[in-house]
A and B are shown apart, each in its own frame.
Chain A
Amino acid sequence: MNKILQIKDLRVSFDTYAGEVKAVRGISFDIHEGEVLAIVGESGCGKSVTAQTIMKLNPMPPARIAHGDILLGEHDIVRASEKEMMKIRGKEVSMIFQDPMTCLNPTMQVGKQLTEAIRHHQKLSKEEANKEAIRLLETVNIPNAKQRARQYPHEFSGGMRQRVMIAMALSSSPKLLIADEPTTALDVTIQAQIMDLLLEIKQKTNTAIILITHDLGVVASVADRVAVMYAGKIVETGTAKNIFYHPSHPYTRALLKSLPDTDMDRSIRLVSIPGTPPDLLNPPAGCGFASRCSNCMKICQTDLPPEFIIDGGHVAACWLHYENCPAELEGVKN
């Protein structure tokens, strides 16, 4: 399989009023053709920043790529000029956002917003672009596409708008689609429809998808691989199976424990993770999770844990996997 995207030791900072906020603190991952990679983590962990940095959508300044490489096919994103980015965005990689209610321009007809994207990357006449827009609306299952194209976004429901966003993102058959919490703002029943649509598209076009979410339920049903982010770092990566059945980082484990389960004994209370994530204005010297981790050791507070290979592609950044770690603590983790 072809590698579509490679990210190496990416660091993104925001220069704010109070100082430098290190939102992403050195993350690396790859994604292959036709693969769904889920990035999970709680709000503020840097997952959306990562996604937007791939397309250089964050306003710079205040955002700044402090270090690292982003290779999208043969394009070097970090060094690409704004002009080159204009050719990459929408064509090589597109994005759909969390809130479909605010992502469409309220004063422009939906069809127009689609043809605008189409004509930017393809040399088509107005009529051809129009036809293409209607075809795209049909592929995302919007009924009466012809009439719908002439309507304004407020005449669409939330789910319908997200379909329009997907149609727009697909208009130039990108190799990579980034979906930043595509279902968070939608009703549960609509969520499933949108996820099914995304999967259907992936199968048809072999587009790779980066799915950003904090909803582990969604991840379990669609993701091939999962990356768990905490405090600007990826703490664990692996296949969906690895993550769900053999979680190897205490944060992943805590996250899974906080998930309600249908066959769970009613008498067991949901487990929450005590404490709050560290302030990324002054990130801690050691592991970001140390202060909330029940397995925390001395070394965790002072040294950043390196990545330990658990099994094949399953990697966790946690000192518990160091060979010198006492056995009784290894016991705790199981």
Chain B
Amino acid sequence: MDRIEKGRFEWVGANVSESEGITRPSTSYWRDAMKRLFKNKIAVFCLFAIVLISILAVIIPIVSPYTISEQHLTHTNISMGFKDPVDGHIHLFGTDTLGRDIFTRVWSGARTSLFISFTAVFINVIIGIIYGGISGYIGGMLDNIMMRIIEIINGIPYLIIVILLMMVLPAGVMTMVIAYAAVGWTGMARLVRGQIMALKQQDYVVAAKVMGADTKRIIFKHLIPNTLSIIIVNITLAIPSAIFTEAFLSFIGLGVPLPHASWGTLANDGVKVFQIYPSQLIIPALYISITMLSFNLLGDGLRDAFDPKLRR
């Protein structure tokens, strides 16, 4: 070994702040999650698709030259991309058996279906958080009873309950919301309860308590950020389930009443004629599937982004 000059052996001593500085800059949980989400091209694309569909669902029925129930009796069951040489009417997606413009109807259906799903899931979340929160926070006997109630409700297939409710209540968009919201909250309630139960026992929450953090701080610093991510993922995955339920109910004849159009009723109309005019089924089917797919993929992306195990 060559001799090393003495000067390099000058004493420096410990520099702890530097050692702390070497460790990675700690990014905040949310910023980190968002960064990961935006790296996921599929999830970003799905988010974009959802936003686009939602905006168009609001705008297109307003700007469309046709209304959803307007009939063009000379042009029934025409195919996609039709342009009438006489009056210049353009039917982008063609018309149905009654000569109604499918493009207008499918976007209006988007409005109905999305409104039902968003509202129903929103109500679910509220009920779920309150129910699960009370159950998990208070615990003990009350928790036991509340969870047994959920267990019994879950013992019955939810579609059967929804069908029974739909029959009792007057037909309408809000009925659909209420029927779905009446059963959809159990999953969310269980989830919130589970999170709160788990967090209550987490060492860091106990530690925060021991160190004298007050309840408010624990709730805002620990409980909410940790539970929120799971709730967001769950919302994203609950919406396609609501869309499916709406479509399913419309399909078996319990859908929104006329003159409303929803994706389910459009699919139902489409099935009746699709062996001759397949596009009348395929168009609403594509809308339903693409929207559900986007929500599911976004939900998966969010779950991966929020999963702290993937951090590092």
Contact = CB atoms under 8 A, between A and B. Distances in A.
B1 A297 contact: no
B10 A298 contact: yes
Interface in B278-312: 310-312
A278 B311 CA distance: 18
Interface residues of A, number: 32
B168 to A, nearest CB: 46
Contacts of A18: 24, 312
Contacts of A284: 22
Given A18-B312, A279-B24, A281-B24, A322 B9 contact: yes
Q: Decide if the interface of chain A is mainly helix, strand, loop or mixed.
A: loop
Nearest to A319: B9
Interface in B1-55: 1, 3-16, 18-20, 22-24
Contacts of B20: 275-276
B23 A279 contact: yes
A298 B4 CA distance: 12
Interface string B225-247: 00000000000000000000000
Given A322-B4, A324-B3, A324-B9, A292 B14 contact: yes
B16 A325 contact: no
Q: Decide if the interface of chain B is mainly helix, strand, loop or mixed.
A: loop
A297 B19 contact: no
A152 B173 CA distance: 55
Contacts of A276: 19-20, 23
Contacts of A102: none
A297 B12 contact: yes
Contacts of A326: 6, 9, 11
A205 B22 CA distance: 47
Interface in A144-180: none
Contacts of A277: 19
Contacts of B23: 276, 278-279
A274 B14 contact: yes
Contacts of B14: 274-275, 291-294, 296
Nearest to B5: A324
Interface stretch (A70-78, A88-96, A107-115, A299-307): A299-307
A69 B16 CA distance: 35
Contacts of B22: 278-279, 282, 284, 291
A291 B9 contact: no
Interface string A308-334: 000000000001001011100100000
Contacts of A300: 12
B19 A291 contact: yes
B8 A299 contact: yes
A43 to B, nearest CB: 15
Interface string A252-291: 0000000000000000000000111111011010000001
Interface string B120-147: 0000000000000000000000000000
A292 B9 contact: no
B32 to A, nearest CB: 11
A121 B51 CA distance: 60
Contact of A298 (B9, B24, B310, B312): B9
Contact of A295 (B11, B18, B310, B312): B11
A333 to B, nearest CB: 12
Most B-side CB within 10 Å, residue of A275, A300, A306: A275
A161 to B, nearest CB: 24
A245 interface: no
B6 A297 contact: no
Contact of B1 (A274, A299, A306): A306
B13 A296 contact: yes
A16 interface: yes
Contacts of B16: 274-275, 291-292
Which 7 A-B pairs give the minimum distances between C-beta atoms? A291-B19, A275-B19, A275-B16, A299-B8, A274-B16, A296-B12, A294-B14
Given A298-B8, A322-B4, A329-B11, 10 more contacts: A275-B16, A276-B19, A276-B20, A279-B22, A291-B15, A291-B22, A296-B11, A296-B12, A297-B9, A319-B9
Interface of A: 16-18, 21, 274-279, 281-282, 284, 291-302, 306, 319, 322, 324-326, 329
21 contacts: A17-B312, A18-B312, A275-B16, A275-B19, A278-B19, A279-B24, A284-B22, A291-B15, A292-B14, A292-B19, A294-B14, A297-B8, A298-B8, A299-B4, A299-B9, A301-B12, A306-B1, A322-B9, A324-B6, A326-B6, A329-B9
Interface of B: 1, 3-16, 18-20, 22-24, 310-312
